[in-house]
Amino acid sequence: MTISEVISKIENRIPLQQAEDFDNVGLLCGVPSRNVSGILVCHDALENVVEEAIQKNCNLIVCFHPIIFSGLKSLTGKNYVERAVLKAIENKIAIYAIHTAFDNDLFGVNHGICSHLGLKDLKILQPKKNNLKQLTVFVPKEHSDKLKEVLFSAGAGNIGFYDECSFTLNGNGTFRPVEGSNPFSGQQNIRENADEDMISVIFEGYKQNAIISAMKTAHPYEEVAHQIYQLDNENQHSGLGMYGELQEEMDEKDFLRLVQEKFGLEVIKHSDFTRKKIRRVGVLGGSGASGIKSALSKKCDAYLTGDIKYHDYFMAESKMLICDIGHYESEQFVTQQLFEILSQKFSTFAISKSIEKTNPVNYFI
């Protein structure tokens, strides 16, 4: 199996189109047509991880954080990024990054955090906006079912845990073929009345090209009457962060002890105690100060994330306990999650988890 074939299967499960616009995800270096000898899953594709891949005969590294984030103007090995990339290229190792595509995934980074905390009734903290579109297309009634099947196969009609969702109305359509036309039915310069169905489906915006192409290929008409609308609806199944409920409410200090235990922490930075019970908890893996307002609006009692700055703590307003457990610490389950996903999809070559330490932050206790 080639690198491009492996990537296709990964992206079928975790679409890169879910990633944030600022991110640099996908194949960062390597030859897509090269056969895969083994996969190494890691958090950061640093130089020591590339060396580990060499030792384990893995020529594809699937990492969470992209080692190349901003543009490279040279490759001379003058910093940790260039050294890692050079080592990979020299040893014919490809590097593929998933990052915010997995952050925004319904069963991604934040689902892993919630699972370790034992939260239930999970919902997306910051649902994706401007992500959904609606297609309305008119088709002869006798071709309606076939066209719906084609649209569904192209990815239209998926709403959360439901697929093949559509709405159909029947009516009378008119058209008049003019000179130069090659009509499916009717004659030139004579108005035609047709028994037509109006099919309506919702889809995620990144699927538009594939859906429209499939529609036009399967549609019997020479000119396909259709409209596409941008929806204001938020995508409730994709976005940053999550929130859910503890099985039982607990005191703030007991909650912090629970977090320490589940995440293996020696220290937690937090805002002032609110003297309220903790029941609803919001989480956002990585740098999550941007989610504080969302967590407050969702009436979370506690918010778990990393990289909180001094002034961010004031935003708690004594209404919510803000907990900074560290950037890496909040994402520490990602490697295992990706390893499990890839192990289910590929059985013809070795998949390994990196054992190298890549967290640059250390604590003196």
**Spatial distance between the Cα atoms of 323 and 130, rounded to a whole number of angstroms:** 30
Structure tokens at 199: 């099919």
- Boundary residue ending a domain (231, 266, 287): 231
pLDDT of residue 354: 97
Is 280 a domain residue?
yes
Q: What is the CATH classification number for the domain harbouring 64? A: 3.40.1390.30
Strands (E), the chain: 26-29, 38-44, 60-65, 94-97, 120-128, 132-140, 167-175, 192-204, 226-230, 235-250, 269-270, 278-287, 302-306, 321-324, 350-353
| 87/26 same-domain check | yes
Task: Provide the domain limits for residue 170.
Answer: 132-231
pLDDT digits (tens, 9 = 90+) for 93-135: 999 999 999 999 999 999 999 999 999 999 999 999 999 999 9
Q: Is the confidence at residue 347, as pLDDT, over 90?
A: no
**Buried-exposed string 261-277: b where 16+ CB fall within 10 A, e elsewhere:** eebebeebebbeebeee
pLDDT for the residue 220: 96
Could you give the CA distance from residue 43 to residue 328 in angstroms, rounded to a whole number? Answer: 9
The response to whether 324 counts as a known ligand-binding position is no
Would 362 be classed as within a structural domain?
Answer: no
**Residue 62 above 90 pLDDT?**
yes
Residue 103 annotated as part of some ligand binding site: yes
Judgement on whether residues 92 and 109 belong to the same structural domain of the protein = no
Q: Which whole number is the average pLDDT over 9-19?
A: 96
Does 143 count as an annotated binding residue? Answer: no
The answer to whether residue 70 scores a pLDDT higher than 90 is: no
Say if residue 114 is in the same domain as residue 246: yes
Q: Does 170 lie in the same domain as 204? A: yes
Give 150-181 pLDDT, tens digit per residue: 999 999 999 889 999 999 999 999 999 999 99
Q: Same domain, yes or no, for 59 and 149?
A: no
Q: Are residues 226 and 269 in the same domain?
A: no
Say if residue 162 is in the same domain as residue 295: no
Looking at the fold, whether 225 and 139 belong to one and the same domain comes out as yes
Are the beta carbons of 282 and 125 closer than 8 angstroms?
yes
Residue 363 lies in a domain: no
Q: How far is CA 138 from CA 102, 168, 199, 201, in A?
A: 36, 10, 6, 12
pLDDT in tens, 221-274: 999 999 999 999 999 999 999 999 999 999 999 999 999 999 999 999 999 999
The rounded distance, in Å, linking the Cα atoms of 246 and 253 is 15
Nearest to 349 by CA among 21, 41, 128: 41
* Residue 245 belongs to some domain of the structure: yes
Q: 299-315 pLDDT, tens per residue?
A: 999 999 999 999 999 99
Q: What is the pTM of this model?
A: 0.92
Pairwise CA distance, residues 239 & 18, whole Å: 8
| Helices (H), ranges, the chain | 3-13, 47-55, 80-90, 99-103, 109-117, 144-153, 208-218, 252-263, 292-297, 327-330, 334-345
Domain assignment present for residue 349? The answer is yes
Please tell me whether residues 311 and 340 are part of one structural domain. no
Contacts of 315 (CB under 8 A, 6+ apart): 292, 293, 296, 322
* Percent over 90 (pLDDT), the chain: 94
Confidence label for 213 from pLDDT (cuts 50, 70 and 90): very high
Phi and psi (nearest 5°) for 83? Answer: -65, -40
Domain boundary among 231, 262, 279: 231
Q: Name the domain boundary from 208, 231, 254.
A: 231
Q: At which residue do the structure tokens 């640059």 appear? A: 360
Measured distance CA(45)–CA(82) in Å, rounded: 11
* Number of structural domains in the chain: 3
Is there a domain that residue 24 lies in? Answer: yes
Please tell me the predicted confidence (pLDDT) of residue 186: 85
pLDDT in tens, 34-60: 999 999 999 999 999 999 999 999 999
| Distance separating alpha carbons of residues 261 and 253, to the nearest angstrom | 12
Q: Is 226 annotated as a binding residue?
A: no
Q: Is 141 found in the same domain as 118?
A: no
Same domain for 169 and 31, yes or no, is no
pLDDT computed for residue 202 by the predictor: 98
What are the angstrom distances between the C-alpha of 156 and each of 124, 153, 225, 240, 284?
A: 22, 7, 17, 23, 29
Cα–Cα distance between 280 and 274 in angstroms, integer? 14
pLDDT in tens, 277-286: 999 999 999 9
Q: Are residues 7 and 95 in the same domain?
A: yes
Q: What is the mean pLDDT of residues 1-17?
A: 96
Does 14 reside within a domain? Answer: yes
Residue 358 lies in a domain: no
Of the pLDDT bands very low, low, confident and very high (cuts 50, 70, 90), residue 71 is confident
Query: CATH number of the domain that 224 lies in?
Result: 3.30.70.120
